[in-house]
Amino acid sequence: MSSAIRDQLSTVETPDPLVDDSEETDIVSQGLVGEITVDGDTAAVPLALGAPYSPAETELAVAVREAVEAAGYEPSLSVAIDDETPASEGPIVIAVSSGKGGVGKSTIAVNLAAGIADRGATVGLFDTDVYGPNIPRMLGVQGEPVRADQNQRIVPVEAHGLKLMSVGFLVDKEMPVVWRGSMVDQTLTELWHEVNWGQLDYLVVDLPPGTGDAQLTMLQQMPVMGSVVVTTPQDVALDNARKGVRLFDDHAADVFGIVENMSAFVCSNCGENHEVFRAGGGAKLAAEFDLPVLSRIPLDPAIGEAGETGEPIVLGESDISELFGDLACDVLDHVGRRRRHSHTARTDSSETSQ
């Protein structure tokens, strides 16, 4: 009987109850369990989950399996986010942005994408920087020829478990900067449609630095669900980062949070933490906009070296690798929270309107 299963599932807590809701915080009351169908010993349970490979949902799936088994059935789980949820078709698009260049945006984008892929997801990385497209170098695939498939769609370059498309593969370094600039407006937003990404769970976009028209156009034309804003702790960078956060104000995309990069220097001789820039800048910005600080990445020569050798540092074994891995997990959990909440909110409003 599916009611026995439902009773068992009522003991599973939601990872993130709606703040303004009642005391019932289990997944059934929160509307995350769809219509259960039983066929012999097997119970098919559709769940409103939306962030594949996120830690919270992986944990939840384990708890749901156990609950279904406790009711005496073999679980068969499926994901059923409703059609209206943004990006329910196609990949979940996560942008990495910054108000200013040179703050480590591409470094974060590469390691975020590789970190998500390392959890098992299929991930694309779209490098839109026409002025300094350095992601191919960071992944050790610079100069790689770009192929078209039989339908004349661009085949992304595979590197370290990622599917990469970079403007760097297409623009000639000798090309005058003004022409490259006009590419941003004219072709970039179209370009990602021309790429045969295949089935992706996530697409990470390294947005061009700055807060001008180019960034705005990209945000308007790509189904970006949310963004990670990268800043360094200096005030100048922060002013720019402020604009970077505001860019999202008029847009449906969320800012998941702030990454403070180059936040301190860990001395390899004495092991001490030196604050090179004024400390806590990221936290100040985060507090101002009521956003979380997702990560504080220290200034570490190993990060620069990894950029040169073409090996994402998140795939290594070090404290820094772990920091980047945690960042990837955090971002995925933000995606899940956002999608579960928009699902629950919609289910609630459709129930009250009946």
Based on the shown chain and the rule CB under 6 A, indicate whether residue 209 belongs to the binding site for ligand ATP.
yes
Based on the shown chain and the rule CB under 6 A, indicate whether residue 231 belongs to the binding site for ligand ATP.
no
Closest Cα partner for 202 from 126, 305, 138? Answer: 126
| Tokens standing for residue 277 | 């820039």
Closest Cα partner for 159 from 175, 146, 149, 170? Answer: 146
Which among 6-14, 125-133, 183-191, 292-300 is the span making contact with Mg ion, rule CB under 5 A? 125-133
Which among 61-69, 151-159, 303-311, 337-345 is the span making contact with ligand ATP, rule CB under 6 A? 303-311
Residue 10 phi/psi, 5° resolution? Answer: -70, -10
Residue 339 CB burial class (10 angstroms; 0-12, 13-18, ≥19): buried
The entry of ligand ATP, Mg ion, none that residue 98 binds, CB within 5 to 8 Å by partner kind = ligand ATP
The only residue of 106, 128, 215, 227 in contact with ligand ATP, by rule CB under 6 A: 106
Which among 34-42, 83-91, 99-107, 192-200 is the span making contact with ligand ATP, rule CB under 6 A? 99-107
Closest Cα partner for 294 from 248, 252, 263? Answer: 263
The entry of Mg ion, ligand ATP, none that residue 261 binds, CB within 5 to 8 Å by partner kind = ligand ATP
The only residue of 98, 106, 211, 342 in contact with Mg ion, by rule CB under 5 A: 106
Distance of closest approach, residue 164 Cβ to Mg ion, in angstroms: 14
- β strands within the chain, DSSP E: 37-39, 42-47, 74-79, 92-97, 123-127, 147-148, 154-155, 157-159, 162-166, 202-206, 224-231, 254-266, 273-274, 293-299
| Tokens standing for residue 321 | 């690798």
Residue (93 or 329) nearer to Mg ion, CB:
93
Based on the shown chain and the rule CB under 6 A, indicate whether residue 307 belongs to the binding site for ligand ATP.
yes
| Contact positions vs ligand ATP (CB under 6 A) | 98, 101-107, 129, 132, 134, 209, 261-262, 297, 299-300, 303-304, 307
